Structure 1
């Protein structure tokens, strides 16, 4: 059995365990923070990177990444989950994908697909390369339906997304999620 298959079997076993332990309770999960960083301000810069209170207990993410060198024909993305113990530690998933190819692929279940599907509904990242415009995420709200597919135990998590073009890391976005029971 190859390494990727073992990793997904382990992920499936953990998910089934969390489903059994959840007792059918609804969670109260929300975004708690967001941090955006560009490594080269002549390539891109964040005009907006913040959380916005949309209503009673509803928090949305707003991101506007201004791109200065267009078009973008190649994009690599690294997605990882971190869990806070005393500090943030790697948790369960870390992978790098060819983002342009991935967007074209059919819908197969993976952590990357879950994140992309959640972001695509509220952004202009819903097509493949080339990208000839700024990247905008507008009022993305964390939904517990995301956790139906990927249930996580109570705690604080960070989803870290790194993006590269032409094999040069350009942008990092850290989204922090607080998961309560």
Structure 2
């Protein structure tokens, strides 16, 4: 084997050994809509950019008619193709039943994994206190969508509808870009 060919194969092996993931997730927007002001209110819903590389989202929903004992969550992942189109996931889960046994629903558990360390929704029903998602960073999301379960590059929208007692109460829309 020639020296040039050996060097070529060694270079290829080195590239595979030192391969770095260049995909990066970035939050682009968040919209929180309270559909029933008698039931709950959104105290804050924000996308905070600390610097060019660190962004996070935070949310606080105050409940006026506690305790909440019957909750369903519908999540739809959209990808932008000439407008946002449903992509890969569209599911509804009974949140009270799910929180008793998260392993029973692997898809919902994957998305719940984004929130577990950033929320106070870590117990089963009933919910009596405000619902808080605190400082969910784009770096944390980036790790989960590039290493845990890789996604293709593009612009995404995660739309979440929260139903309490079979009535849609809150709509959350989180926009992001994977490049």
TM-score (ref. length: structure 2): 0.83
Q: 2:45 aligns with which of 42, 49, 67?
A: 49
Supply the distance in 2 between the matched residues of 1:106 and 1:43 (Cα, whole angstroms). 27
Compare CA radii of gyration and give the structure with the larger one.
2
Matched, 1:139 2:135: yes
Quote the residue 2:126 is aligned against.
130
Deviation at 1:24, TM superposition (A): 5.4
Deviation at 1:118, TM superposition (A): 1.2
Supply the distance in 2 between the matched residues of 1:46 and 1:106 (Cα, whole angstroms). 26
Quote the residue 2:168 is aligned against.
169
- The change in CA–CA distance for 1:107 and 1:55 in structure 2 (over 3 A counts) is farther
Supply the distance in 2 between the matched residues of 1:134 and 1:106 (Cα, whole angstroms). 22
Unaligned 5+ segments in structure 2 are: 1-18
User: Match of 1:118, SS?
Assistant: coil
Quote the residue 2:157 is aligned against.
158
Supply the distance in 1 between the matched residues of 2:153 and 2:105 (Cα, whole angstroms). 23
Count of residue correspondences: 158
Q: Which shows bigger deviation, 37-46 or 24-33? A: 24-33
- The change in CA–CA distance for 1:108 and 1:73 in structure 2 (over 3 A counts) is closer
Deviation at 1:170, TM superposition (A): 0.6
Quote the residue 1:3 is aligned against.
none
CA contact (8 A) 2:28 2:175 kept: yes
TM-score (ref. length: structure 1): 0.82
Matched, 1:74 2:73: no
List 4+ stretches of structure 1 deviating above 4 A.
Answer: none
- The change in CA–CA distance for 1:57 and 1:24 in structure 2 (over 3 A counts) is closer
Quote the residue 1:84 is aligned against.
80
Unaligned 5+ segments in structure 1 are: 1-22
